[in-house]
Amino acid sequence: MPNAAYRRRVQALATGAIAVVAAASQAVPAQADDTQNTSHNAKTLNNAHPAWATADKDRGAVPASQTITTRVFLTGQDQAGLAALAKSVNDPNSPDYGRFLTPEQVKEQFGATPAQIAAVQKWLQDAGLTVSAVNSNWVDAHGAPEAVQRAFGTQLKNYQRPDGSVGYAASSAAVIPGSVASLVAGVSGLSQATTMAHTNSVGTLHKPGGSNTAGNTTAATTAGNGTNATNMPADGCGPNWGAQTVSGFPAGSNGANIPIAPCSYTPNQLRQAYGQTNTGKGATIAIVDWYASPTMKSDANRWAANVGAPQFRADQYSELVTSNAWNHQDTCADPRGEEALDVEMAHGLAPDANILYVGANSCTDADLMAAEQKIVDGHLADIVSNSWGALMHTTGGDMDPAIMAQYDRIFQQGAAEGISFTFSTGDCGDDDPAWKAGGGANCSNNSARKQTEWPVSSQWVTAVGGTTLATSNSGGNYAWEVAMGDRAGSAFPGDKSWSPVDGQKSAFQFYFGGGGGTSADVSQPWYQAGKVPGGLANTQVDGAPATRPMRVLPDVAMNGSLATAVNVQYTDTVHGFSQWDEGGTSVAAPEFAAVLANAKQAAGHAFGLVNPSLYALNGNAYHDVTSRPGVTEAIKGRGDNSAWLWQVGQDTTLNAAPGYDNATGLGSPNGNFVAALAAQKAPGAPATAVSRLAGNTRYETAIAVSKKAFPADHTASAVVLATGDNFPDALAGVPLSKQLNAPLLLTPGGALDAGVAAEIRRVLAPGGKVYVLGGEAAVKPAVVNALKLPVQRIFGATRYETSVAIAKAMGSPTNVVLATGTKFPDALAAGPFASDVFTQDTKPAAILLTEDAHLPDNVFSYMDNHVTNVASIGVQATNAITGFPGLESFPGKDRYDTAALVAKRFPHSTVAGVATGLKFADALTGAALLARQNAPLLLTDPTGLSQPTQVTLQGLSHALAGGGSVEVFGGPAAVADAVVRQIAAAVGGRVQ
């Protein structure tokens, strides 16, 4: 049942515990057919034989008909190199800061090679296993027990597990044969552990049924004995903390008049409290949970209408779900409450960000890893919010280090690509087993000791803890925060004392608190050194001294207390569409993900692993969350005449203190946070400059481009001039301008523009000539006469003949680039390519035009007589020349994709250009500049960065970093300011 503490946690290893690979001094004898496993180069799989698989628990052989599924993790090419790069590009003290890679670059540099993958596949297949899935990080295979035993040199037997159930396990250490030992990082599936998804209900269905504004209405609450509580709002809560008081209940720690707790917060209140004025526009937040609600989008829109938040645009919310592959539904918690909480918090605090829900096929590590891997392999999001986790040390055993290593590799890949991960820290404080025994609402009954959780303890993710947030008014103005540490008592009006809640032995025991503390498993990351007090880093959460400085949680914190719950609404099978008052660090993780989306909008780029930047900021960016004197408490009605008195800020052994602490980390973001984070910049390494070249008209834009290309007067050998009224005659002019060392300027066809005339006089060297493209119908004689300069007109009866005439004026190149002449985009993208890449002895290729998929006679004739090498840009031109020997073709799905394909032929360019794909003028003159700079031209929709263009810019970002630039041709009407920011984000640059 969904609840305010709805923090699902995977409490044991996923099905198929992962074994660690360790070098063995000699082959380990196997108990099965191990002929391929006895090489002296073989390696053992430590922990493949779990501690619970003992001889006295042996329950016999695994049936021969049973199918065993395994996953073999691959070492890839350079694991250490990936970690080093992920650190370098995310450290604001590094000159590589922000120089993120694309997924393709990560795969090429660090992923397993095809040969490595093939070797692992062959090993598995030779053993009799069937390979079912392959990527650059792992190989999935399944088969009969006999085949598994043959592959891994061990026997599988059934054993009674600690919980009494029976499952299979390797009866001895397993062995990886020497032929592939160096390629394998770990294996899952050799033992069958129990998956337990933890969902503790605390009964927080919003029974009164009102919104926050209902807190202004008061009524008498009457218990069965007729005693009234005076001034209790009808909704059981107030507009803000302590705005009203209530009496008639047992006295609190501060007297009989008890402050009333706020009604569940809406996103507008949270945005106000944390100073969020940006909206996340241009960012994508991925939410990872398991399974999926069938009504999530409609529920979120209904919730948004109820709480005053914007509803999703038609294309703003999407899902990545494979319901036909769901498994373990009998043990994994129903996801609907958590999914709604995560989606609604992320959308509420960043209302313009795109939201992608990624539903894992179960709550097992294998499926959760696959969900995270899918995101990084496709760079599907800028920020990934995760409100789930696992205990690292349970009464059934410790988490396998190989599980941690594989998660880290995924997070490192994301960090290298510029993807941020937020994880919630848990809701049981330091996870002491005593808290569950005492009735902790979201504590586990199989915690072995005080500890931090996983994956939130990874140094490659941002650990988000919880606070109790109080506002000073109903609008959400910030008042104060304390740590998320909730204790409670329950009473009816007229009762003499407070009673225990939810089966606790006494009132006001620990009930609910944000996770944190010092990890016993993860060393201190570089970004915490000198920032986290030594007394915390060198002392484990159980009080024992650490052997070295360790990772301390959380990094930051935001509201998550049950006393200051948030308004979440969704549909389930029991209550239909209902409001729930939700709390937990599950609230805080998507809240902070939304803040990062807002920061991305402000900065124009993503942040990747944001932790180094978080610790580099000064205290002015955070609310420093500390404790308050005395007992801080407030009362909230429960809808059945009773009320709970919440005492807050008491989080197990974790304490909020000035500066960094182990309950709230650096603190919570304040109104300065987004701007401060957006201002982070690598030292000595200028970010990629993204700037416009534009004028008020296409003619002025062309002049601006000319001045950029030829800043000194009288330095152009020639000028190429075309009409700005229409595109056909000018399409083939870019290679000509490159060959002539000339700018390409535009003029109205009927009269010479005065500004253009002035620019021609400025730029043209003495004795230079003006080349006019097109006949007298395109550029009138009056224009030529007004020039009063030597002129050569290049033209034909049709646009196709004009392209041939231009080729002949260039000296009849034997390299030709074909593009359709019926539309302009393909030919414009072809300009820099023909000028700089598809050259012959450094001389530009000619651009010839096709009539869509048809070669006009004069074009065919030129090719028949002159051409030896051909490239085709776009589907139509490719169809026109199909079958030409050695054809290099770029048949994109649309104009944006075609330009992106061409741009990949400029992998090391330090400059790129972007223009609208809907009009020709800016792209034409911009292409002439780019041809001089050996740079590609990309096209975009005027109001949103086209996806192929975004991906290509991300791919070019490494080459552009450290002083490169992106030129955007045309003003905001051609390419909107928002698109310019998206361009900057794609290359990790700054808008000039």
- What pLDDT, in 10s, does the model give residues 716-769? 999 999 998 887 778 899 999 999 999 999 999 999 999 999 999 999 999 999
Strands 258-259 and 354-360: unpaired
Residues 6+ apart with CB under 8 A from 760: 719, 721, 745, 770, 787, 789
pLDDT of residue 40: 59
Any idea what DSSP says for residue 215?
G
Tokens of 801: 């003949």
Q: Can you tell me which residue has the tokens 């025994």?
A: 437
State which of 15-29, 153-167, 866-880 shows the largest mean pLDDT: 866-880
CA-to-CA distance for 617 and 594, rounded, in angstroms?
A: 19
CA-to-CA distance for 847 and 838, rounded, in angstroms?
A: 11
Asked, as a colleague might, if the bond just before 948 is cis with ω within 30 of 0, I would say: no
Considering only residues 395 and 713, tell me which one the structure prediction assigns the higher pLDDT. Answer: 713
pLDDT of residue 195: 44
Considering only residues 203 and 640, tell me which one the structure prediction assigns the higher pLDDT. Answer: 640
Grouping H, G, I as helix, E, B as strand and the rest as coil, residue 732 is: coil
Residues 6+ apart with CB under 8 A from 55: none
Strand partners, 488: 646
Q: CB–CB of 32/153 below 8 Å?
A: yes
Compute CA 555 distance to the chain's CA centroid, rounded to the nearest angstrom.
Answer: 18
Closest CA to 498 of 633, 289, 303, 645: 645
Considering only residues 517 and 2, tell me which one the structure prediction assigns the higher pLDDT. Answer: 517
Strand partners, 384: 286, 421
Model confidence band, residue 603 (pLDDT cutoffs 50, 70, 90): confident
pLDDT of residue 961: 72
Tell me the average pLDDT across 908-915.
90
CA-to-CA distance for 559 and 278, rounded, in angstroms?
A: 19
Q: pLDDT at residue 172 above 70?
A: yes
Mean pLDDT, the chain, as a whole number? 88
pLDDT of residue 987: 86
Dihedral-angle region of residue 988 (phi above 0 means left; psi in -120 to 50 means alpha; beta otherwise): left
Tokens of 715: 């330095």
Any idea what DSSP says for residue 758?
H
Predicted confidence (pLDDT) per residue in 661-711, tens digit: 999 999 999 999 999 998 887 665 567 899 999 999 999 999 999 999 999
Residues 6+ apart with CB under 8 A from 716: 706, 710, 741, 742, 743, 763, 764, 765, 768
Q: Compute the CA torsion angle 958, 960, 962, 966 (nearest 10 deg).
A: -150
pLDDT of residue 45: 75
Q: pLDDT at residue 313 above 50?
A: yes
Q: CB–CB of 555/665 below 8 Å?
A: yes
State which of 32-41, 859-868, 951-960 shows the largest mean pLDDT: 859-868
Sign of the C-alpha dihedral computed for residues 478, 482, 488 and 493 taken in this order: negative
pLDDT of residue 529: 95
pLDDT of residue 230: 65
Which stretch of 27-36, 168-177, 333-342, 973-982 has the lowest confidence by average pLDDT? 27-36
pLDDT of residue 211: 34
Residues 6+ apart with CB under 8 A from 816: 807, 845, 846, 847, 848, 862, 863, 866, 867, 869, 870, 871
Q: What percent of the chain has pLDDT over 70?
A: 91
DSSP 908-977: T-SEEEEEESS-SHHHHHHHHHHHHHT--EEEE-SSS--HHHHHHHHHHHHHHTTT-EEEEES-TTTS-H
Any idea what DSSP says for residue 202?
-
Q: Which amino acid is at 322?
A: T
pLDDT of residue 41: 79
pLDDT of residue 35: 46
Closest CA to 736 of 642, 646, 831: 831
Model confidence band, residue 129 (pLDDT cutoffs 50, 70, 90): very high
DSSP H or E stretch at residue 508: none
CB neighbourhood size of 439 (10 A): 17
Annotate 356-366 with b (16+ C-beta within 10 A) or e (fewer).
Answer: bbbbbbbbbbb
Q: Can you tell me which residue has the tokens 């891997």?
A: 373
CA-to-CA distance for 418 and 97, rounded, in angstroms?
A: 10
Q: 156 — phi, psi (to 5°)?
A: -105, 130
Whether the full predicted model's pTM is greater than 0.95, yes or no, is no
pLDDT of residue 221: 33
pLDDT of residue 102: 87
Q: CB–CB of 691/929 below 8 Å?
A: no
Q: Can you tell me which residue has the tokens 């949970």?
A: 289
CA angle 889, 895, 898 (to 5 degrees): 30
Strand partners, 570: 578
pLDDT of residue 619: 87
CA-to-CA distance for 474 and 36, rounded, in angstroms?
A: 71
Closest CA to 139 of 118, 166, 158, 108: 118
CA angle 265, 267, 269 (to 5 degrees): 60
Tell me the average pLDDT across 928-938.
94
CA-to-CA distance for 888 and 578, rounded, in angstroms?
A: 59
Strand order across the 815-820 sheet: 846-850, 815-820, 869-873, 888-890
Any idea what DSSP says for residue 711?
-
Domain spans of the chain, in order of start: 17-76+111-192, 267-678, 689-991
Predicted confidence (pLDDT) per residue in 211-243, tens digit: 333 232 233 333 333 345 567 888 899 999 999
Grouping H, G, I as helix, E, B as strand and the rest as coil, residue 269 is: helix
Tell me the average pLDDT across 525-539.
96
Tokens of 33: 């057919």
Q: 11 — phi, psi (to 5°)?
A: -90, -15
pLDDT of residue 216: 29
Q: pLDDT at residue 509 above 70?
A: yes
DSSP H or E stretch at residue 805: helix 799-809
Which stretch of 187-191, 575-579, 685-689 has the lowest confidence by average pLDDT? 685-689
Residues 6+ apart with CB under 8 A from 730: 722, 723, 744, 746, 773, 774, 920, 924
pLDDT of residue 243: 94
Strands 510-513 and 622-623: unpaired
Predicted confidence (pLDDT) per residue in 400-457, tens digit: 777 888 999 999 999 999 999 999 999 999 999 999 888 888 888 889 999 999 999 9
CA-to-CA distance for 694 and 599, rounded, in angstroms?
A: 28
CA-to-CA distance for 853 and 519, rounded, in angstroms?
A: 65
pLDDT of residue 611: 98
Q: CB–CB of 382/603 below 8 Å?
A: no
Tally helices (H) and strands (E) across the chain.
Answer: 26, 51
Q: Can you tell me which residue has the tokens 């129903």?
A: 334
Model confidence band, residue 924 (pLDDT cutoffs 50, 70, 90): confident
CA-to-CA distance for 527 and 773, rounded, in angstroms?
A: 60
Predicted confidence (pLDDT) per residue in 237-280, tens digit: 999 999 999 999 999 999 999 999 999 999 999 999 999 999 99
pLDDT of residue 639: 80
Class at the top of the CATH hierarchy for domain 267-678: alpha beta
CA-to-CA distance for 829 and 952, rounded, in angstroms?
A: 14
pLDDT of residue 37: 57
Which stretch of 99-103, 724-728, 954-958 has the lowest confidence by average pLDDT? 954-958
pLDDT of residue 921: 82
Q: How many CA atoms lie within 13 A of 279 on its CB side?
A: 8
Strands 517-523 and 550-553: antiparallel
Model confidence band, residue 986 (pLDDT cutoffs 50, 70, 90): confident
Model confidence band, residue 976 (pLDDT cutoffs 50, 70, 90): very high
State which of 56-65, 103-112, 900-909 shows the largest mean pLDDT: 56-65
Q: pLDDT at residue 389 above 90?
A: yes
Predicted confidence (pLDDT) per residue in 30-87, tens digit: 334 444 555 557 888 767 788 788 999 999 999 999 999 998 999 998 888 899 999 9
Q: What percent of the chain has pLDDT over 90?
A: 71
Considering only residues 210 and 952, tell me which one the structure prediction assigns the higher pLDDT. Answer: 952
Q: CB–CB of 72/124 below 8 Å?
A: yes
